[in-house]
Amino acid sequence: MPYINLKVGGKLTEQQKKEIISQFTKTLEDVAGKPPSSTYIVIDEISRDLWSVGGKLLSEND
């Protein structure tokens, strides 16, 4: 049973989420032979003011 926990900085549209889920699920099916019905995906949208890279908050680059 594959479990993917994707964390992204900021918000995704519903269409973006659907496309990510579709492609990740297909990749696991194609590469690892995992049936879509056994693949779990969680998308965590992290506020850009709670995430940093290179010593700066992501929100500082907005």
Does the annotation mark 2 as catalytic?
Answer: yes
| Concatenated DSSP letters of 18-48 | HHHHHHHHHHHHHHH---GGG-EEEEEEE-G
Nearest to 4 by CA among 44, 33, 32: 44
List 2, 24, 41, 51, catalytic entry: 2
Known catalytic residues are 2
